[in-house]
Amino acid sequence: MSKSASMSTDTIQVKGKKQKSQILQAMVEALYRFNPRALFGSPILFTLWLAAVMATLESLLGQPLSGVAPSLAWQLTAWLWLTLWFANFAETLAEGRGKARADSLKAGMSQLKARRVTSPQDDKGEWVPATSLLKGDLVLVRSGEMIPADGEVVAGIASVNEAAITGESAPVIRESGTDRSGVTGNTTVVSDQIWVHISNNPGESTLDRMIALVEGAKRQKTPNEMALDALLVGLTLIFLLVVATLPWFLDYNGTQVPRLYLLALFITLIPTTIGGLLSAIGIAGMDRLVKLNVIAKSGRAVEAAGDVRTLLLDKTGTITFGNRMADELIPAPGVDPSLLAQAAMLASLGDNTPEGKSILTLASKSHTRPSQLESDILIPFSAETRLSGLDRNGHHYRKGAVDAVLRYLSLDRKAVPELILKSVDNIARQGGTPLLVCTHEKLLGVVYLKDIIKPGIKARFQILRHMGIRTVMITGDNPLTAAAIAAEAEAGVDDFIAEATPEKKLAYIRQEQADGRLVAMCGDGANDAPALAQADVGLAMNEGTQAAKEAGNLVDLDSNPTKLLDVVLVGKQLLVTRGALTTFSIANDVAKYFAILPALFIAAYPQLGALNLMLLGSPESAILSAIIFNALIIVALVPLALRGVSLKGTAASLLRRNLLIYGVGGLIVPFIGIKLIDLVITGLGLV
């Protein structure tokens, strides 16, 4: 066996052991949740606990009072407790999946020290426990030290390793006075030093929020969950009235049914399946969000993401790369293209800007990249001259903005070849940036710099369009540039906001909301804060300003704006999964009517024989089979609740598929399952 294969096998074994450990731990923790105070927040589970307690009392009283044979009574009681255990197990397993991650995040927090200072000029300070830091404190963090808490850089610049939070090993730059001033606790400074203004009190940091999310410790029910809880309570009350009135109908016909049977009937008829899985679905949704390295400040935001109809995305860094790149070299009349390429590369050797490097990359694809000589004099690009260049052996190569190059050549626009002027105008009209290349005596041509759309972004926009989500590009560029980018990204960009100001963003969001559409937005700057606060789903970048992070209801630790698309999918999956399993649960209950009611009451009402489709062995086996199925189906659906329902296909095809699988399937599965269990019970002589 190869070394890699051996390592792979070891990894699988370690993962398998971890999964087994998590399952065993969840089984034990599920027992602790038999406390009625822990169950009171879940109406279905609390009702199930009451029924199990009453069944236990009936079994203890014995056959003379319960009217049920002891063996059957205790079997029914045991399966009622098992149903409750399985429902609790689903929730504890969902929470347990994140506890290992939470433990790793907690590691080292208690032992962390911080150098608290009085001002950005103080480079000494005093060492204090990180847990004692309060909002408003100022700390100095040097190379090799860990940032003690969330905050904002107010002085200095440094490289920060955020692998402990994001999993990304490449260091990132954090500096004061920019949109990249935000830092996260438990990340490490790898160079230089920074002064950090603490923005959270102990227990309120990004790390604390993530730990609470993955542990399920402070997870609050979303509006959708609360609405579903109300529905389940209503259905439970209806079935309680139905079952409570059955004895009077039976007395009328001189028939008696034991209270234990009625208890079991009641539990099988109420929607215990979705009641047992509801919390697990919500926790699993949060878990998927955490895996994306997104912190949710509220469950409402995640749920709202599933109903988003308008998505606002920044152009720069989201739809396009962060900087414009060279796309084409256009030679002047009579100029050899290779001469233009060589001159452009020479003039860019001293240009360390992304634009200058992109010219070298473009030209070197078809021409040999020149090497720098010791005698060369480099002219670095500066904002003042707007030129860069190189002097070699009496030859002067320059590249820069149109006006700057013409000024360098002392050339009037009228003397510029018409082809060059047309190229410059066309580039500007398309939203690009034209640069001229020249020697000290001659104009050689034009470099076309343009916004390059990220690979794959069009495909993602197409997915959003199929989902009925309208995409809006936000940019500070002029309308010409914005229109050009929007046209190139026509696969999904339905609109754009040019020369975007905070007021423009707010006005657009409010108009969309006034028309009844939920709006999502991502941003990282202080100027994005008003719009992030106004949007239904506001995704703030972790590397951004503190104002943006406080305004948003979601924080992306990776600072990847396109992740908003993934958040939308998580929200939709959460809603679809909850809806699909609710459909399955209610369909289950309908099927169980045909299983239990005819078997139990056919003696009193012979007409029910027409509904006795399952032909179960006896009333006793019917009720026991239904109880067993009711318990086992919860366990069977736990993996689906944790994984979530697939979102493949269009909305219409998804609806048809879910109705077929969870609606029709929910009707058929109980018929098959209860009949098989009945055959086993009868064959083993358990009743």
The residues annotated with a catalytic role in the active site are: 314
d(CA 136, CA 154): 12
Q: What is the DSSP string of 514-582?
A: HTT-EEEEEE-SGGGHHHHHHSSEEEEETTS-HHHHHH-SEEETT--TTHHHHHHHHHHHHHHHHHHHH
How many alpha carbons fall within 13 Å on the CB side of residue 317? Answer: 11
At residue 159, what is the residue type?
A: S
At residue 399, what is the residue type?
A: K
Cβ atoms of residues 645 and 577 within 8 Å? yes
Residues in the chain: 687
d(CA 665, CA 680): 22
Dmax (CA) for the chain in angstroms is 118
List, in order, residues 6 or more apart from 85 with CB less than 8 Å away: 30, 31, 34
List, in order, residues 6 or more apart from 578 with CB less than 8 Å away: 224, 225, 228, 274, 278, 281, 282
Question: Given the DSSP bridges, would you call strands 151-161 and 172-175 parallel, antiparallel or unpaired?
Answer: antiparallel
How many alpha carbons fall within 13 Å on the CB side of residue 356? Answer: 22
Q: Which residue from 522, 429, 405 is spatially nearest to 473, judged by alpha carbons?
A: 522
At residue 418, what is the residue type?
A: E
Sign of CA dihedral 230, 236, 242, 245: negative
